[in-house]
Structure 1
Amino acid sequence: MATTAMDGAAATALRSVINRVKQAAERSSRSSDRINVVAVSKTKPVSLLREVYDAGHRCFGENYVQEIIEKSPQLPEDIEWHFIGNLQSNKVKPLLSVPNLAMVETVDDEKIANNLDWVIGNIGRKPLKVLVQVNTSGETSKFGVDPDGCLELVKHVTSNCPNLEFCGLMTIGMPDYTSTPENFKTLAKCRTEVCNVFGISEEQCELSMGMSGDFELAIEMGSTNIRVGSTIFGAREYAKRL
């Protein structure tokens, strides 16, 4: 992506992030083509998302169902939306009304997996890609299955939810990043166990870890999917939320 005089701050920031992703991948002898950048756009206006889209980006993430429902019709259909927030059962059907919803990254218990599977089957939509969210930090304020329960939840999704396509694991690290390496190591260990038990290669099992403050370290530790918000879009403005 070439920089132009017309670039706004968000487009310029996106290009910087992409460059940092390439450098982090090189340091770990990986191909940056294997690393997906989810531009996390919660609380941001459609105009700003359009700027990032016009800079060539196609993958966006939202934390709130209402925002993705309101924003998606106003933007091009080739955007791949990732839902990355906690999903409540009563929000499953509205979320699945978004035709270009590409992935739900936050399946953290059997109930939400069952709800997603049931609604998808009822509306006749193609199977949905999902990640199992793991609470690697052990914080009670965080959602996600305990690492010890990861295998059981993955088994449930793969065995009992034909309308879900298990694609890997996701975690949210601690906000001060003090235990980031341990969180990432825990998720990587969970992936190794999942791959061994279910007979799949690690290349087929995504690791969604790393955000604005730690995505380079995450890449160096094996992340294939990073979620970058404020570094691209600027600080969140909750008072202006849709």
Structure 2
Amino acid sequence: MNNLKRAPKRENEEEVVEKDNHSDMATSAAMDGVAAAALRSVLHRVNQAAERSGRVAHPIRVVAVSKTKPVSVIRQVYDAGHRCFGENYVQELIEKAPQLTEDIEWHFIGNLQSNKVKMLLTGVPNLAMVETVDDEKIANQLDRFVGSIGRKPLKVLVQVNTSGEESKSGVEPSGCVELAKHVSLGCPNLEFCGLMTIGMLDYTSTPENFKTLANCRSEVCKALGIAEEQCELSMGMSGDFELAIEMGSTNVRIGSTIFGAREYPKKQS
């Protein structure tokens, strides 16, 4: 039989625990401040890129892409004054959006399947834009459902595959005018706002990709009879957003530079 007596509780044990808790809170607060500081740095770089290209920075929208990041971290960036956030996956967005305030402008920037349209629109009433309309089918699905729920017209961008990669979604550059005309003239519950592209991961053809999208905008605006200022260009991410701005981007999608590396859950064996 074990006759060892439990050591009496130290008088300062609670004090030690309390200090540990304060230390954990301070560490957490320091980590929380990282994303807000990174946002400020990004906004400064956006301003500098705009100045280099002789543009005004305020029309350039920064979409903070919070993919895989918890609501608590998104809230840090929100508290720093940012209101525009983006997500790649419908399920992740409909889980996060209700936990945050309604004045957030959510952009959906991932591949959208037809069977997820209802889930996305009903789950995120403050969805501001879908940046990834890449064919008439998804445009029609969005148009029908937006009309059925009676919300204001949904802003959309036509995604163009400027790099020619089979793994990428997006209409071919040669088809962007036709799709843009379909959205603009045939989908009364959608508001055509411009074009979007994703450059190659290794950035080898980034300038060509961006130039192709700018050329597509010229063709679309001519076909629709609108000024180029009325047609947005969503191009540029963490690794190339400054170049994108210098080449005319009005909308940059920045994730890891603000939030840090993605945090994908480990697959269970």
TM-score, normalised with respect to structure 2: 0.86
Partner residue, 1:214: 240
- 2:237 is equivalent to residue 194 of structure 1: no
- Give 1:158 deviation, angstroms: 1.2
Partner residue, 1:85: 110
- 2:82 is equivalent to residue 57 of structure 1: yes
> Residues 38-58 of structure 1: CA distance to partner in whole angstroms, max 9, x if unpaired?
000010000000000000000
Q: Residue 156 of structure 2 aligns to a residue in which SS?
A: strand
Partner residue, 2:250: 224
Partner residue, 2:153: 127
> Residues 127-162 of structure 1: CA distance to partner in whole angstroms, max 9, x if unpaired?
100000000000000000000000010111112110
The answer (yes or no) to whether the contact 1:43–1:240 under 8 Å persists in 2 is: no
- 2:78 is equivalent to residue 47 of structure 1: no
The answer (yes or no) to whether the contact 1:35–1:223 under 8 Å persists in 2 is: yes
- 2:184 is equivalent to residue 158 of structure 1: yes
Find the partner of 2:40 among 15, 33, 46. 15
The answer (yes or no) to whether the contact 1:173–1:180 under 8 Å persists in 2 is: yes
- Give 1:240 deviation, angstroms: 7.2
CA distance in 2, matches of 1:150, 1:25: 27
Structure number, greater radius of gyration: 2
> Residues 211-236 of structure 1: CA distance to partner in whole angstroms, max 9, x if unpaired?
00000000000000000000000000
Find the partner of 1:143 among 161, 169, 187. 169
Unaligned runs of 5+ in 1: none
- 2:95 is equivalent to residue 73 of structure 1: no
Unaligned runs of 5+ in 2: 1-28
Q: Residue 265 of structure 2 aligns to a residue in which SS?
A: helix
CA distance in 1, matches of 2:184, 2:236: 25
Partner residue, 2:128: 102
Partner residue, 1:203: 229
CA distance in 1, matches of 2:126, 2:237: 23
Q: What amino acid is aligned across from residue 109 of structure 1 in structure 2?
A: D
> Residues 155-198 of structure 1: CA distance to partner in whole angstroms, max 9, x if unpaired?
11112110000000000000000100000000000001111111
Q: Residue 219 of structure 1 aligns to a residue in which SS?
A: helix
Q: CA RMSD in A?
A: 1.3
TM-score, normalised with respect to structure 1: 0.96
- Count of aligned pairs between the two proteins: 237
Runs of 4+ in structure 1 displaced over 2 angstroms?
A: none
Q: Residue 8 of structure 1 aligns to a residue in which SS?
A: helix
Q: What amino acid is aligned across from residue 181 of structure 1 in structure 2?
A: P
Q: Residue 11 of structure 1 aligns to a residue in which SS?
A: helix
CA distance in 1, matches of 2:126, 2:49: 30
Bigger relative CO (Cα 8 Å, ≥ 6 apart): 1
